[in-house]
Amino acid sequence: KELTFVIVGAGPTGIEFAAELLDFIEENGPRYYKELLPYVSIKIVEAAPSILRPFEDGMKDEAIRRLTRTIEIEGVKTLRPCEILLNKQVSEVTAKYVNFKDGDKVEYGMALWAAGIGPLPITSNMIETLEGTEQKDAQSFARGRLAVDPWMRVIGGDGKIFALGDCSCVSSTPMLPATAQVASQQGEFLGKLMSGDYCIDAKDEEMLPPIVLDPEQSKPLSDQIASFAMGESEIAAPFQYLDLGI
């Protein structure tokens, strides 16, 4: 059990750690710990039915293929050290065991928690403050994060509150990965939006998209393409995440 590694959470952090550990076993293990390799076990535990939920199916399938591959090392029987356990909810982690809600348990030598942490108090307090608004219903998909519209305005905040990064969840797109790449692009987007000539908090029966106040103001090429795609040049282009595959 000392060489059993349990990784809880199959998001970007958990999968990256598992991949690095597997590479170490394959590339460096034979040089230093050849006699121990048959005893190594890596178990990736995920409560959801798939790994890397925010990513495309092709990337998920390729990650599963690489992680569960067999390893051939001279003088050692064929290894397949990595196992992925889906639909497994952890109920408790003790000094020796990872316990699951279905009654199963795994004895481990090292456990890594990569399933995320609870929200900061400022995020929870904001959600509670906005409970009497559309934010309450939006929590069905935001799940503890601040639901925002396509322009990063917090739903229920009357266009005066913005959120980006891990504490936010864009309502109009699939779940974005909680990575620095997403937060960086959102920050850049908000900087351009706030420095442009837009009415950000326009409201009728409900919040309106940010309205262009100066039609002559210059727009970057990405905004021009978005405006053309929407068939609308009088509102600001919404946030779009550019997945660079990193």
Arithmetic mean of pLDDT over the chain: 90
pLDDT band at 227 (very low <50, low <70, confident <90, very high): low
pTM for the predicted model, two decimal places:
0.65
- 3-class SS string, the chain: CCCEEEEECCCHHHHHHHHHHHHHHHHCHHHHCHHHHHHCEEEEECCCCCCCCCCCHHHHHHHHHHHCCCEEECCEEEECCEEEECCCCEEEECCCEEEECCCCEEECCEEEECCCCCCCHHHHHHHHHCCCCHHHHHHHHHCCCEEECCCCEECCCCCCCECCHHHEEECCCCCCCCCHHHHHHHHHHHHHHHHCCEECCCECCCECCCEECCCCCCCCHHHHHHHHHHCCCCECCCCCCCCCCC
- Per-residue pLDDT band at 100 (split at 50, 70, 90): very high
- Which range among 40-54, 163-177, 199-213, 229-243 shows the weakest confidence by mean pLDDT? 229-243
Span 185-218, pLDDT tens digits: 999 999 999 998 889 988 877 888 898 887 777 7
Residue 2 pLDDT: 93
Looking at the chain, the whole-number percentage of residues with pLDDT higher than 70 is 92
> Would you state the pLDDT for residue 214?
79
